[in-house]
């Protein structure tokens, strides 16, 4: 019987547990053995391996975080580390690994595949910043959390006639920002992908204040790196009392949404189908709303368009 491992790597994301569960159960259903590797590639190198059965993954589909723990592993970035990892896989008798994480984790999966251990990458990150896929596990939950938080911030901004500047996560990408900004009715969304004109935003604010608007919401992607500065400038230029809120890690936790659970399960299932056939060095993703797989090197060389259409719609409906 084939024996496969599953690990989560990089930043955690809601829905990772659903993916781990699907990998485990789908493999067991095919008569394969499954082990969990704790704390990403670190656990492989340190031998933090747990036997998994159907019960190991009971009661986790609804939980945020990852039951396998996660970590970033600098040692896996050099050849010796990967070699050691491949040796460990042979020692344990692994015929393949499912790696749930982001681009950094996929690089390790490609290197390990090149050393004869078939690996399949599943996109797990709240940022949706993986080019080969329209969707990453955790994205929907993170956006819903951010939306709920900003709805609350709006209540108090409205009561005090204030402007709230809210920073959302996304590393260097503005996907969370533009979608959440649209969903909360923000007056402006500032992302690393699009140029912005703070003077123009402030001028519009002043104009609509004359016709009775009293509070404002500006969403800023963390990748812009200027949330405090923007907050200060808005207050100076408009005279509106302005507050900054950095949502931070609240966006990484919580029970995954339907979308995250379903897609994580589909992707986990697809990964096992590939490993069953002995296929490795692939990333599972979503294209045209369907689950597909692609060569890891090819996946890493792709680029992803920004949400230009949403950005245009937001700007035409904001004030």
Would you tell me which residues interact with ligand F6P (CB under 6 A)?
Answer: 11, 125-127, 169-171, 222, 252
User: Which residue's structure tokens are 């923000």?
Assistant: 186
Q: Tell me whether residue 127 is one of the annotated catalytic residues.
A: yes
Token pair belonging to 297 = 């090197």
CA-based nearest residue to 98, from 14, 46, 25, 29: 25
Closest-by-Cβ residue to ligand F6P is 169
Query: Minimum CB separation from ligand F6P for residue 12, in Å?
Result: 8
The DSSP annotation for 101-145 comes to E-HHHHHHHHHHHHTT--EEEEEB-TT---TT-S--BTHHHHHHH
Distance between first and last Cα of the chain: 62
Q: What is the largest CA-CA distance in the chain?
A: 73
DSSP 8-state code for residue 19 = H
Query: Minimum CB separation from ligand F6P for residue 170, in Å?
Result: 5
Token pair belonging to 109 = 């999966």
Alpha helices in the chain (DSSP H): 16-29, 41-46, 79-92, 103-114, 139-159, 175-184, 198-210, 227-238, 258-276, 296-301, 308-317
Query: Minimum CB separation from ligand F6P for residue 273, in Å?
Result: 27
Minimum CB distance to ligand F6P smaller for 8 or for 56: 8
Minimum CB distance to ligand F6P smaller for 85 or for 170: 170
Minimum CB distance to ligand F6P smaller for 93 or for 248: 248
Look at residue 80 and give its three-state secondary structure: helix
Token pair belonging to 64 = 């945020």
Taking the C-alpha atoms of residue 139 and residue 74, their distance in angstroms, rounded to an integer, is 25
Minimum CB distance to ligand F6P smaller for 4 or for 168: 168
Neighbours of 248 (CB within 10 A): 11
Chain centroid to Cα 82, Å, comes to 25
Query: Minimum CB separation from ligand F6P for residue 101, in Å?
Result: 10
Minimum CB distance to ligand F6P smaller for 252 or for 261: 252
Query: Minimum CB separation from ligand F6P for residue 25, in Å?
Result: 27
Minimum CB distance to ligand F6P smaller for 16 or for 126: 126
- Which position among 111, 127, 129, 293 bears the catalytic label? 127
Taking the C-alpha atoms of residue 41 and residue 51, their distance in angstroms, rounded to an integer, is 17
Residues near 63 by beta carbon (within 8 Å), at least 6 away in sequence: 17, 255
Query: Minimum CB separation from ligand F6P for residue 16, in Å?
Result: 12
Catalytic machinery residues: 127
């Amino acid at each position: 019987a084939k024996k496969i491992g599953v690990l989560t790597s990089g930043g955690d994301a809601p829905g990772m547990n659903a993916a781990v569960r699907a990998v485990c159960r789908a493999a067991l259903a095919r008569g394969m053995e499954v082990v969990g590797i704790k704390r990403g590639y670190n656990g492989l190198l340190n031998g933090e391996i747990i036997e998994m059965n159907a019960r190991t993954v009971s009661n986790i589909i609804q939980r945020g975080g990852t039951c396998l723990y996660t970590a970033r592993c600098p040692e896996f970035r050099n050849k010796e580390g990967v070699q050691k990892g491949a040796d460990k896989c042979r020692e344990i008798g692994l015929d393949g690994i499912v790696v749930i994480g982001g681009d950094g984790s996929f690089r390790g999966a490609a290197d390990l595949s090149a050393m004869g251990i078939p690996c399949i990458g599943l996109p797990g990150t709240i940022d949706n910043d993986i080019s080969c896929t329209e969707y990453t596990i955790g994205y929907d939950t993170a956006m819903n959390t951010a939306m709920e938080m900003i709805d609350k911030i709006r209540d108090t901004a409205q009561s005090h006639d204030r402007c709230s500047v809210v920073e959302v996560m996304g590393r260097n990408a503005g996907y969370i920002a533009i979608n959440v900004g649209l969903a909360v009715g923000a007056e402006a969304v500032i992302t690393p992908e699009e140029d912005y004109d703070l003077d123009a935003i402030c001028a519009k604010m002043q104009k609509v204040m004359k016709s009775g608007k009293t509070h404002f919401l500006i969403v800023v992607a963390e990748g812009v790196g200027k949330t405090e500065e923007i907050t200060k400038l808005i207050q100076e230029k408009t005279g509106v009392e302005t507050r900054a809120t950095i949502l931070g890690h609240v966006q990484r936790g919580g029970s995954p949404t339907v979308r995250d659970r379903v897609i994580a399960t589909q992707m986990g299932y697809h990964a096992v189908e590939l490993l069953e056939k002995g296929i490795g060095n692939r990333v599972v993703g979503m294209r045209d709303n369907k689950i597909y797989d692609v060569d890891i090197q090819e996946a890493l060389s792709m680029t992803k368009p920004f949400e230009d259409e949403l950005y245009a719609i937001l700007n035409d409906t904001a004030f």
